[in-house]
Chain A
Amino acid sequence: MTELAIRVRALSKHFGEVVAVDGVDLDIPAGQIYGFLGPNGSGKTTIIRMLCGLLTPSGGDVRVLGLQIPTQTDRLRSKIGYMTQKFSLYDDLTVQENMQFMGQIYGLPRKVARARIEELLERYALAPLRNRFASAMSGGQRQRLALAVATLHSPTLLFLDEPTSAVDPENRRDFWEKLFDLSEAGTTILVSTHYMDEAERCHHLAILETGHLRNQGTPQELLAQLDNRVVEIAGDNLRQVKERALRLPEVQSAAQQGVRLRVLLKRNTLDPTQYLREQLADQHLVLTHTRPSLEDVFVASTTGSKQQ
């Protein structure tokens, strides 16, 4: 796929003194699931809001589905679906009423809307809940309803802002199955998350921190950058070992995971295990060279300085 769904250059957004997004470039290919990975306050939501025309950028050039944003936002609206971070349908309407309402707002012909709603009620397992008030539904059910509504008018581009923040792991897996179905059918999906397991499922990832784009690529590409930089240490007194490791010039971060300490080195050293073994000089410690995880990628991309 070479066609771009979204092309962004030097995008920035200021709220008064605060710089929420600073000089971000993005090329998002059509038909893929593209993930924004970043902590709270990294600018994920702000970028998504600018891409769907909810916020006016302070600077930069935004093209979504070939349309200039924000000037051509009106023409974009019927082509996109948006799932907000917070549940934004009506608590005091039932599942079916919410869907009918949004169908009318999107101007679907009555017959088309009726068929589409039935189809979505089945697909998202909402049929038994059709007369349930949204306020009486679980997090997972609400999220399925929100996705059903976001796809009601068959948009070519879906924005999902932290869609699974109120959902248990099993529902989250089911949710991603639905996203892959949509992607298979040709929908471009932009999803923001701070869960590593979700990030791993994306075709392409952008790592954001404090409004800056820190890294981007496929998960495989990103992991390959960290080959030979992660070492696991097992042994006693890991809290002390961690303190010592963090003082070493070549160590970027160290984090305890249960009975092991995971150490990330700043750049490729010929033999990271050997380097640490010499530096820590403690024969009780067992050091193993290990495969990087996406969390390591995230840490390596986002922290210039050392962190715990």
Chain B
Amino acid sequence: MSSLSRVGAIAAKEFKQLSRDRMTFGMIVMIPLMQLILFGYAISTVVRNIPIAIVDNSGSAVARAITEQVRVTQVVEIVGHYATAAEAEAAIVAGTIRAALIFPENLTQRAAGGEPVAQWLVDGSDTMVSAAVLGLRTMPLHLEAGAPDGAYQATAPSFEVAVFFNPERRSEVNIVPGLSVIILTMTLVLFTAVGLVREREHGNLELLITTPIHPLELMVGKLVPYIFVGLIQIIIILGLGWLVFNVPLQGELHHLVAVILPFIAASLTLGLLLSTIAETQMQAMQMTFILLMLSILLSGFMFPFDAMPKTAQYIAEILPATHFMRLIRGVYLRGATAGQLLPDILWLLGFTGIMLTIATKRFHKSLD
């Protein structure tokens, strides 16, 4: 009996502590809520609204009819028109579109002969996106307005498809750079989020803030070592990806470095901001965990960004991981240059500046 009452005493104490620890209590409610909303609603595994462009070399009514039929599938969203296939390819490398539909000059003759009427150029660096476009390959087409369904009887598939960057559609190609985003988010944010809190818990901060040190000096000083930590980690991940999983770097090394450094800076300053909010190391870890979960689900690592509803996309745009996911897939898999991906790089740098400013403002040299 006494053992039971001791168990009861412990349990009652745990409940009390739990209800007083607002952070943990919040997690208990927030995690299932977020998971449910993200998995059940925001993230649909049916891929829709993939941004594509049209290159119409035929200028025919047939091309416009086919374009319309492709559009109404809702699998793709036509975001642009280019004059040449080369321009469309460049847009795919830069990541502004995921695929392009190319109509040849001799479209009318090809249609009459039952040959594939057009060609898809597809970005294979996201396997779910390329799978969705590949699904369109055999879609039935009717080429004249008013004709009954299936009037066009192609002996071959409706479209030819050229998958760029990952023609075998191996998932490792997609996963390796994506994993580098997740691992860096996890470790870099955690290290810095815990950093200031640990100094506070150990009492070091009480002494430090009586010295002439400026908050910004303290902040930047705490970040610098972790830039190297981030670089070492990414060398390990991408090096293993290359050696073990045969995912080679398509772009130039200096462009890779140019996209990695802004992301490391953004993650570290974000961690620093969490560090000024958290009161204990445990809280810092909990906040990092929430951020990590959002990054895994929304950055495009698990589900294609383009297929998410607008609300989820807006949230995802705030996360540094989303921008870095685009950058590293661009440089690493599609051989893009930093210049082609400038908007995401600038966004990360801006994010870094804002985080550092807020963290420095939040950090007062006092114990109030």
A107 touches B212 (CB 8 A): yes
A56 touches B368 (CB 8 A): yes
Is A290 an interface position by the 8 A CB rule? no
Q: What is the bound-complex CA distance between A101 and B32, given in angstroms?
A: 45
Near A by CB (< 8 A), chain B positions 310-368 give: 365-368
Q: What is the bound-complex CA distance between A70 and B367, given in angstroms?
A: 13
Is A176 an interface position by the 8 A CB rule? no
B206 touches A106 (CB 8 A): no
Q: What is the bound-complex CA distance between A106 and B211, given in angstroms?
A: 6
- The chain B residue with its CB closest to the CB of A106 is B211
Q: What is the bound-complex CA distance between A88 and B203, given in angstroms?
A: 5
A105 touches B204 (CB 8 A): no
A84 touches B366 (CB 8 A): no
Near A by CB (< 8 A), chain B positions 167-211 give: 202-211
Q: What residues of chain B lie closer than 8 Å to A74, measured between beta carbons?
A: 212
Near B by CB (< 8 A), chain A positions 71-93 give: 73-74, 77-78, 80, 82, 84, 86-91
A77 touches B212 (CB 8 A): yes
A53 touches B203 (CB 8 A): no
Q: What residues of chain A lie closer than 8 Å to B202, measured between beta carbons?
A: 88, 90-91
Q: What is the bound-complex CA distance between A54 and B209, given in angstroms?
A: 8
B213 touches A90 (CB 8 A): no
Q: In the complex, which range does the number of interface residues on chain B fall in?
A: 10 to 19
A105 touches B209 (CB 8 A): no
Q: What residues of chain B lie closer than 8 Å to A77, measured between beta carbons?
A: 210-212
Near B by CB (< 8 A), chain A positions 27-58 give: 49, 52-56
Q: What is the bound-complex CA distance between A108 and B178, given in angstroms?
A: 46
- The chain B residue with its CB closest to the CB of A52 is B210
Give the contacting residue for B210; candidates A54, A86, A90; CB below 8 A.
Answer: A54
- The chain A residue with its CB closest to the CB of B209 is A54
B212 touches A88 (CB 8 A): no
A87 touches B203 (CB 8 A): yes
Give the contacting residue for B368; candidates A55, A84, A87, A89; CB below 8 A.
Answer: A55
A55 touches B207 (CB 8 A): no
Q: What residues of chain B lie closer than 8 Å to A90, measured between beta carbons?
A: 202, 204
Q: What is the bound-complex CA distance between A245 and B260, given in angstroms?
A: 80
Q: What residues of chain B lie closer than 8 Å to A86, measured between beta carbons?
A: 203, 206
Is A102 an interface position by the 8 A CB rule? yes
Q: What residues of chain A lie closer than 8 Å to B367, measured between beta carbons?
A: 49, 54-55
Near B by CB (< 8 A), chain A positions 87-142 give: 87-91, 102, 105-107
A102 touches B366 (CB 8 A): no
- Tell which of B202, B212, B365 has the most Cβ of chain A within 10 Å: B212
Number of interface residues of A (CB under 8 A): 24
- The chain B residue with its CB closest to the CB of A78 is B212
Q: What residues of chain B lie closer than 8 Å to A54, measured between beta carbons?
A: 206, 209-210, 365-367
- Tell which of B208, B210, B366 has the most Cβ of chain A within 10 Å: B210
A88 touches B211 (CB 8 A): no
Known contacts A74-B212, A105-B213, A107-B212; is-contact A88 B368 (Cβ 8 Å): no
- The chain A residue with its CB closest to the CB of B366 is A54
Q: What residues of chain B lie closer than 8 Å to A49, measured between beta carbons?
A: 367
Give the contacting residue for B206; candidates A70, A84, A107; CB below 8 A.
Answer: A84
Closest approach, in angstroms, between the C-beta of B57 and any C-beta of chain A?
67
Q: What is the bound-complex CA distance between A70 and B364, given in angstroms?
A: 13
Q: What residues of chain B lie closer than 8 Å to A84, measured between beta carbons?
A: 203, 206-207
Give the contacting residue for B207; candidates A53, A78, A89, A107; CB below 8 A.
Answer: A89
Q: What residues of chain A lie closer than 8 Å to B207, measured between beta carbons?
A: 82, 84, 88-89
Q: What residues of chain B lie closer than 8 Å to A105, measured between beta carbons?
A: 208, 211-213
Q: What is the bound-complex CA distance between A91 and B366, given in angstroms?
A: 23
A88 touches B206 (CB 8 A): yes
- The chain A residue with its CB closest to the CB of B217 is A105
Q: What is the bound-complex CA distance between A207 and B204, given in angstroms?
A: 29
Closest approach, in angstroms, between the C-beta of B344 and any C-beta of chain A?
37
Closest approach, in angstroms, between the C-beta of A37 and any C-beta of chain B?
22
Q: What is the bound-complex CA distance between A82 and B211, given in angstroms?
A: 9
Q: What is the bound-complex CA distance between A77 and B209, given in angstroms?
A: 9
Q: What residues of chain A lie closer than 8 Å to B213, measured between beta carbons?
A: 105
Give the contacting residue for A55; candidates B205, B208, B212, B366; CB below 8 A.
Answer: B366
Q: What residues of chain B lie closer than 8 Å to A53, measured between beta carbons?
A: 210, 365-366
Q: What is the bound-complex CA distance between A90 and B209, given in angstroms?
A: 14
Q: What residues of chain B lie closer than 8 Å to A73, measured between beta carbons?
A: 365
Q: What residues of chain A lie closer than 8 Å to B368, measured between beta carbons?
A: 55-56
Closest approach, in angstroms, between the C-beta of A94 and any C-beta of chain B?
15
- The chain A residue with its CB closest to the CB of B364 is A56
- The chain A residue with its CB closest to the CB of B205 is A88
- The chain A residue with its CB closest to the CB of B218 is A105
Q: What residues of chain A lie closer than 8 Å to B211, measured between beta carbons?
A: 77-78, 102, 105-106
Known contacts A55-B366, A55-B367, A55-B368; is-contact A106 B212 (Cβ 8 Å): yes
- The chain A residue with its CB closest to the CB of B204 is A88
Q: What residues of chain B lie closer than 8 Å to A80, measured between beta carbons?
A: 210
Closest approach, in angstroms, between the C-beta of B281 and any C-beta of chain A?
15
- The chain B residue with its CB closest to the CB of A73 is B365
Q: What is the bound-complex CA distance between A296 and B234, given in angstroms?
A: 68
Closest approach, in angstroms, between the C-beta of A276 and any C-beta of chain B?
48
8 examples of A-B residue contacts, CB within 8 angstroms? A52-B210, A53-B366, A54-B365, A55-B367, A84-B206, A88-B204, A102-B211, A105-B213
| Given pairs A74-B212, A88-B202, 16 additional interface contacts (CB within 8 A) | A54-B209, A56-B368, A73-B365, A77-B210, A77-B212, A78-B212, A82-B207, A84-B206, A88-B203, A88-B204, A88-B207, A89-B204, A90-B204, A105-B208, A105-B212, A107-B212
4 tightest A-B contacts by CB?
A88-B207, A88-B203, A82-B210, A86-B203
